[in-house]
Structure 1
């Protein structure tokens, strides 16, 4: 069995990373990490690449929008960058797989919407290949709300994407969506490139019909291994996982201490190299 490599989604430390890339990456290297997952890299790829090189780290995966025409920001929606710009920036930053991190929940409620998402990702995969790159998709919980002929929107999506498209399964959000997370991890099979290692208290799916809008401040997330998510069982259910990506949507204490605690859990459980 080949164990995955530990990584961390830099969005977990978005404020610290944006304020001082070098210092933040040096702290991650001191913890023992050698890989990270980039976010918001399209407009700052050269800066990120230099900071990574200086700290002795690499970003084999990165998050960027590929499947939406607009991107929500606190200042309002803005057009997403052209896929060509995304892939050019990824190549500069050293990213090998560009992963779309979020698609509007409403698009997951109809067969037409789900099929369009899959078709767009297949098209993106074709273009990415011309840059020597791969693409993938990262879930939240909205992908598991609608069912078509007894199959969830997420399962329909996975069945329609090209075999070369990678999956990054967020174990926390899959659990919030009431999925049997170890079974789902096993079901995805060889295309499961990465998992997001995230733990916390159980909660109702905020994208289910009638649910109040998600308030990120209300999230109760904990160090890996101390919450309700069957992280170890899920990771042991699939031997294809290449990266175990630590993430906090809301870090409970000092984010670097929180990352170190989850990193220690992964090693103590024998879940990573």
Structure 2
């Protein structure tokens, strides 16, 4: 086994991976991740959507930010970044910018990530509509100003559908990064990029220093098929890690897992640590 010559990055788990486990035992699930040796987590919040309107497996009872921070401190976990609504002030029915930014600040992270255009009210179809995409890009610029004033950066996370629709000879992914405010950072999900028929290394190279977070996952790269522990699927994890020279955090996410999720997360961590790609705590 060869080790990559790079400075190992701290490793976190995107909590979508363990959403069902969090519903069953919120604190215990965090503790188990820390016991594995993970350095941090990437939580998710859904803004103004009442929890009862979310799909059952997304009804994670996230506590107020100060309580959550105290829980994480007690367990020994950092917050790598936060998946959250875009910080905007768009009326009484939407979460205001300060609500989102206050939550991020209380958790101690300087990175907010929009998980998908589908999480953007009134522009959920931006990946397939050029006008909506331009509107989304404009909204990112306004949100970047609000976030920057609080010392927080904005990021965008991909799925596969940013490469699905031809918009006058271009994909939404390329148009977005060509036009969006230069302060916006990329959280590249290498698995979804490859599932969309893209070379994830080329995707990372194309954005270079804007790639500040990486989502590591592996599997067959087939839609609706479950994912597997890193190193057991089709994605060249090591090549992607070597390309992501500017990433501050490595984040494991398994949306749907073919095996026990905790076993897969542990095996994924071992894969990255044993190759000198990522850094864990003392437990692993």
TM-score, length-scaled by structure 1: 0.85
2:152 alignment partner in structure 1: 133
1:1-273 equivalences under 5 Å are 1-40=6-45, 44=63, 45-66=65-86, 80-104=94-118, 106-148=125-167, 150-203=169-222, 218-273=224-279
Structure 2: distance between partners of 1:195 and 1:150: 27
Once the two structures are superposed, what CA deviation does each residue of 1:59-94 show, in whole Å capped at 9, x if it has no partner?
130101218999xxxxxxxx5422221111111122
Alpha-carbon offset, residue 177 of structure 1: 0.8
Structure 2: distance between partners of 1:252 and 1:47: 33
- Asked if structure 2 preserves the Cα contact closer than 8 Å seen for 1:122 and 1:162, the reply is yes
Structure 2: distance between partners of 1:3 and 1:113: 39
Richer in strand (by share): 1
- Asked if structure 2 preserves the Cα contact closer than 8 Å seen for 1:67 and 1:120, the reply is no
- Asked if structure 2 preserves the Cα contact closer than 8 Å seen for 1:21 and 1:48, the reply is no
TM-score, length-scaled by structure 2: 0.82
Structure 1: distance between partners of 2:178 and 2:14: 27
Q: 1:66 to 1:251 in 2, by over 3 A?
A: same
Please give the secondary structure, in 2, of the residue aligned with 1:86. Answer: helix
- Structure 1 runs not aligned, ≥5 long: 71-78, 205-217
Once the two structures are superposed, what CA deviation does each residue of 1:34-62 show, in whole Å capped at 9, x if it has no partner?
11111127663223212101111111301
Please give the secondary structure, in 2, of the residue aligned with 1:221. Answer: coil
Bigger drift between 12-21 and 219-228 goes to: 12-21
- Structure 2 runs not aligned, ≥5 long: 1-5, 48-61, 119-123, 280-284
Please give the secondary structure, in 2, of the residue aligned with 1:194. Answer: strand
